[in-house]
Amino acid sequence: MPYLDHASISPITPEVAAAIASAPSEDPTRLHAGARRARQALDAARATCAASIGGRAEEVTFTSGGTEAVVLAVTSAVSAARAARRPLRIVASAIEQRSLLETAASFPDVELISLGVDAHGLVDPAALEAAIGDGAALVAIQVANLEIGTVQPLAELTARRGAWLLADASAAAGWIPLDVSTLGVDLLTVSGSRAGGPAGTGFVWTRSGVRLRPMLRGDDRERGVRAGMPNLPGLVGLAAGLRARIDALPDAEPRMRALTEHLRAQLPTVLDEVIVHGHPQRRVPHIVSFSIPLVEGDALLLGLDARGFAVHSGSACTSSTAEPSHVLAAIGTLTHGAIRVSIGPETTAADLDAFVAALPEVVDAAKARLGRR
């Protein structure tokens, strides 16, 4: 069964599974020999994760996943702005993940400004500067979008009037080269399950001078930022997965990009009506998103699943595909009948050719059920 949903979660590789199985089980805060081995493993995982984005180990705080990483970053920015008496304003692109948008909207005293994007999902640097006004606590612009794959011009977003710049790298880490020193960001979040590691892992990178405020209290683990026992096997697995992804990128990225470019070109040749989303050049190499008029995304997903293809339908940020995609709405396109194909390092041209060959029959069956054939 071709697995074409890597943007949701990538299957654990044997290499990562072996790293998880070999991880120490002791508490890394203790002093006995087993605990010291655990501490060494935790430190090594932190250093590997930091190196994967061009950072330093002391700049990485581990979390339970991308969602917690984003929430921790947003709440820390608001706390810092209150303490510094900076404007309590968050400017976020309209296509950010719901975890970020809903957290930003949860503060009754914080103004949330939704920054529009163009038809490809790109943020306009001039529009961002106008939205910031006299200042902001936080500017949130993702590295790339999980649903349509568009990569943002982060290095061009320089006029921020003291606001922290948060970049969600859930769709980018492990898929394209990342270097925080050239991105110009203050915080960057990573979801382990989308970057080659296991679910339940992630981290926040923070620029020197940016301090996170703890949400979970009770001990001094993670330098007092996040209390609770670390998921050491998971974090060791995350480091192994990220390291493997980064080492393979020089060969894997151009190969995957060629596959998805071919898929984007093939879709209009087999379907009379199809809308392919995302920027044709500025995009991650593994995501192709498209919509088909007059059908529901769930019908397409189930029809493809019955033929052996695991893909995703609807918004990448919601658990219910019945809810229209806020990402597709923001770029001004069809919000239903959407499919996201996301390939992985093991995906072959034959997998995608078989997917394209099966698609017209699935679309016809979905339309027939609605009487629209």
pLDDT tens-place string over residues 225-253: 888 889 999 999 999 999 999 999 999 99
The residues, ordered by sequence, that sit 6+ positions from 232 with a Cβ below 8 Å of its Cβ are 23, 24, 25, 28, 38, 41, 42, 45
pLDDT of residue 1: 78
Spell out the domains of the chain, with CATH numbers in brackets.
14-243 (3.40.640.10), 249-369 (3.90.1150.10)
Closest CA to 371 of 313, 298, 270, 295: 295
Mean pLDDT of the residues in the chain: 92
Q: What is the pLDDT of residues 53-64, one digit of tens each?
A: 999 999 999 999
CA distances from 338 to 19, 183, 327, 334 (A): 37, 31, 11, 8
Q: How confident is the model at residue 372 (pLDDT cuts 50, 70, 90)?
A: low
Q: Which of 12-16, 133-137, 286-290, 346-350 has the lowest mean pLDDT?
A: 133-137
Two structure tokens written together for 218: 């009770």
Max mean pLDDT among 45-49, 212-216, 333-337 falls in 45-49
12 versus 294: which is more confidently predicted? Answer: 12
**pTM above the 0.85 mark?**
yes
- Whether 318 shows a pLDDT value over 80: the answer reads no
Give me the active site residues, please.
317
Q: Which of 50-54, 72-76, 212-216, 220-224 has the lowest mean pLDDT?
A: 220-224
What is the bridge-based pairing of β-strands 164-168 and 138-140? parallel
Rounded mean pLDDT, 122-137: 91
Residue type, 295: V
Per-residue pLDDT at 147 exceeds 70: yes
Among residues of the chain, what percentage have pLDDT more than 90?
78
What stretches of the chain show up as alpha helix (H) in DSSP?
Answer: 14-22, 33-51, 66-84, 98-105, 125-132, 180-183, 232-270, 297-306, 326-330, 349-369
pLDDT at 321: 45
Q: Strand 111-115: give its sheet, edge to edge.
A: 60-63, 202-206, 187-191, 164-168, 138-140, 89-93, 111-115
- For position 228, what pLDDT does the model report? 87
